[in-house]
């Protein structure tokens, strides 16, 4: 039987291959493709083939090292080409004769780990490592009330700018729901109208619409923009995402950035380009906070960029908020938990085809409302809570986030940790 992670991996691999940028599958330095029992292990992450991310101060030395290696392999004219990503790191394009894994091992042996890493694939609700309870959306009847529902104060979040990095927004759904009025963004290209006028919702379609709706439940007057940051089966390369975020800081001037996506990494270096961006670029924009999903592997293992410094990491609770959702990642690196299981909100109207087991190949008609689960949605709820606290107390994004997390950590839930429950 095909597993969820195999389906998701296949969709992402096929999408990038069609775009002319093939991806590879990787395992951590301490693991590998074959387990101790001799059986194949699920890939822990995906990455861009023929490219590595390198710290700027090592670019010349790494280029010289890898060029020499290529020549020993009989490719005298092959070149290693560098291009900028963000201040502090560059992306090196490798000749086809030098696999990414070989290049990284050479660099690590010469300069140590942390000098160069993969250009990771970051995905919405990524489940590369194995079975996960987070599932595809499920239709609810037209008119079903949102869960969680809206806060009492209709002005909460006024003049606070929230940018959601997702797969875009469905404008027809915005027009049909009062609480989404004024939400703007890139179109969701996974929601398409065929030649017969029927709306088809592809894999990951509607994800950005649901996250926007959840932010508005907590902050009804927040200025919300949904950016199409994950255009390939809900995925993007780390370096492309970082460059897009640089542009967002300059053009949208966000107070809160919601990042409902992530990946595992090869080692504790994590996402080098993203971490460098947080340190060298985001730090110049005082008060801007990044809220990141903890991931849906159901494991106490690092998930990036949520694990990294400078983010508010959000895990998921069950619908009633009484326990951790079975799919959520967990551990001391998770800052706070909130509801993320069986949330209900506005969703495109149309026919959805399921890709993952146990419903793969089946179709369902959606009437503008969906139930969905995942830490993506928990991150959106906390992003909305931060926006509401900013408006209420006149705080910056980072200060509002710190205040909420401190309150939750002062009264942890036994067996769970710090929790923020929606006020409605």
Is 422 contained in some domain?
no
Report whether pLDDT(125) > 80: no
What's the pTM value of the predicted model, to 2 decimals? 0.95
Average pLDDT, the chain: 93
Q: Read off the pLDDT of each residue in 59-64 and give the average, rounded to a whole number.
A: 97
Query: Based on the domain organization, do 56 and 91 belong to the same domain?
Result: yes
Helix (H, G, I), strand (E, B) or coil at 182: coil
- Judge contact between 27 and 44, C-beta under 8 A: yes
Query: Based on the domain organization, do 119 and 173 belong to the same domain?
Result: no
Among 76-80, 250-254, 359-363, the least confident range: 76-80
Query: Based on the domain organization, do 195 and 46 belong to the same domain?
Result: no
Helix, strand, coil in percent for the chain, rounding step 5: 30, 25, 45
Is 418 contained in some domain?
no
Beta strands in 333-404 (DSSP E): 336-339, 343-353, 363-372
For residue 343, what are the β-bridge partners?
A: 372
Distance CA 414, CA 50 (A): 47
- Total structural domains in the chain? 2
pLDDT: is 2 or 170 the higher one?
170
Report whether pLDDT(2) > 90: no
Give me the domain span that covers residue 327. 138-410
Beta strands in 172-301 (DSSP E): 184-185, 191-193, 199-201, 223-228, 235-237, 256-259, 261-262, 289-293
Report whether pLDDT(29) > 70: no
Report whether pLDDT(130) > 50: no
Report whether pLDDT(80) > 90: no
Question: Two tokens at 177?
Answer: 């729901």
Query: Based on the domain organization, do 106 and 225 belong to the same domain?
Result: no
pLDDT at position 41 is: 67
Query: Based on the domain organization, do 165 and 67 belong to the same domain?
Result: no
Q: What is the CATH number for 36?
A: 3.30.70
Query: Based on the domain organization, do 355 and 246 belong to the same domain?
Result: yes
Which of 102, 124, 146 is at the close of a domain? 124
Query: Based on the domain organization, do 100 and 223 belong to the same domain?
Result: no
For residue 268, what are the β-bridge partners?
A: none
Is 420 contained in some domain?
no
Distance CA 282, CA 260 (A): 18
Q: What is the CATH number for 350?
A: 3.40.50.200
- Please tell me what DSSP assigns to residue 413: B
Query: Based on the domain organization, do 199 and 315 belong to the same domain?
Result: yes
**Predicted confidence band of residue 332 (pLDDT cuts 50, 70, 90):** very high
Is 242 contained in some domain?
yes
Query: Based on the domain organization, do 111 and 8 belong to the same domain?
Result: yes
- pLDDT digit string (tens) for 284-320? 999 999 999 999 988 898 899 999 888 999 999 999 9
Cα angle: 204, vertex 210, 212; to 5 degrees: 120
Is 387 contained in some domain?
yes
pLDDT at position 358 is: 87
pLDDT at position 132 is: 32
- pLDDT digit string (tens) for 193-217? 999 999 999 999 999 999 999 999 9
Query: Based on the domain organization, do 170 and 100 belong to the same domain?
Result: no
- Judge contact between 272 and 47, C-beta under 8 A: no
Is 271 contained in some domain?
yes
Beta strands in 6-115 (DSSP E): 23-26, 45-55, 81-86, 89-93
- Judge contact between 282 and 288, C-beta under 8 A: yes
Q: Name the one residue in this structure whose structure tokens are 């970082």.
A: 242
Is 129 contained in some domain?
no
Catalytic residues: 166, 207, 376
Report whether pLDDT(134) > 70: no
Distance CA 85, CA 224 (A): 27
Query: Based on the domain organization, do 209 and 117 belong to the same domain?
Result: no
**Predicted confidence band of residue 38 (pLDDT cuts 50, 70, 90):** low
Distance CA 152, CA 337 (A): 22
- pLDDT digit string (tens) for 386-419? 999 999 999 999 999 999 999 999 989 999 999 9
Report whether pLDDT(5) > 90: no
Among 4-13, 143-152, 275-284, 349-358, the least confident range: 4-13
Distance CA 370, CA 144 (A): 9
- Please tell me what DSSP assigns to residue 146: P
Which of 91, 124, 157 is at the close of a domain? 124
Query: Based on the domain organization, do 89 and 228 belong to the same domain?
Result: no
For residue 161, what are the β-bridge partners?
A: 223
Strands 256-259 and 161-166: parallel
- pLDDT digit string (tens) for 222-248? 999 999 999 998 999 999 999 999 999
Is 421 contained in some domain?
no
């Amino acid at each position: 039987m095909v597993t969820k992670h195999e389906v998701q991996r296949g969709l992402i691999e096929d999408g990038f291959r069609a775009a002319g940028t093939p991806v590879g599958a990787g395992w951590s330095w301490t693991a590998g493709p074959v387990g101790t029992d001799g059986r194949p292990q699920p890939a822990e992450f995906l990455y861009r083939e023929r490219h590595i991310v390198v710290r700027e101060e090592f670019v010349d030395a790494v280029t010289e090292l890898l060029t020499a290696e290529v020549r020993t392999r009989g490719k005298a004219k092959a070149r290693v080409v560098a291009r900028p990503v963000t201040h502090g790191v560059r992306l090196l394009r490798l000749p086809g004769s030098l696999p990414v894994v070989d290049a990284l091992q050479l660099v690590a042996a010469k300069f140590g780990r942390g000098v160069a890493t993969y250009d990771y694939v970051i995905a919405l609700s990524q489940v590369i490592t194995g079975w996960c309870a987070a599932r595809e959306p499920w239709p609810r009847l037209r008119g079903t009330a949102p869960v969680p529902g809206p806060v009492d104060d209709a002005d909460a979040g006024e003049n606070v700018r929230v940018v959601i990095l997702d797969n875009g927004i469905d404008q027809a759904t915005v027009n049909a729901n009062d609480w989404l009025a004024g939400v703007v963004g890139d179109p969701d290209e996974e929601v398409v109208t065929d030649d017969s006028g029927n709306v088809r919702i592809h894999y990951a379609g509607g994800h950005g619409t649901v996250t926007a709706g959840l932010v508005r439940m907590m902050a009804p007057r927040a200025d919300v923009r949904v950016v199409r940051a994950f255009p390939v089966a809900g995925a993007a390369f780390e370096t492309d995402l970082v460059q897009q975020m640089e542009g967002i800081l300059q053009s949208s001037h966000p107070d809160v950035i919601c990042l409902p996506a992530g990946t595992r990494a090869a080692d504790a270096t994590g996402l080098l380009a993203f971490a460098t961006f947080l340190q060298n670029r985001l730090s110049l924009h005082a008060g801007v906070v990044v809220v990141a999903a903890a991931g849906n592997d159901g494991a106490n293992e690092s998930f990036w960029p949520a694990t990294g410094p400078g983010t508010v990491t959000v895990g998921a609770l069950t619908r009633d908020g009484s326990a951790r959702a079975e799919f959520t990642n967990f551990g001391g690196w998770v800052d706070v938990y909130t509801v993320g299981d069986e949330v209900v909100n506005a969703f495109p109207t149309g026919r959805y085809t399921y890709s993952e087991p146990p419903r793969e190949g089946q179709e369902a008609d959606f009437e503008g409302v969906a139930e969905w689960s995942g830490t993506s949605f928990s991150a959106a709820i906390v992003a909305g809570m931060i926006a509401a606290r900013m408006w209420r107390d006149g705080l910056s994004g980072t200060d509002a986030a710190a205040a909420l997390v401190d309150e939750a950590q002062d009264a942890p839930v036994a067996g769970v940790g710090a929790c923020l429950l929606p006020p409605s």
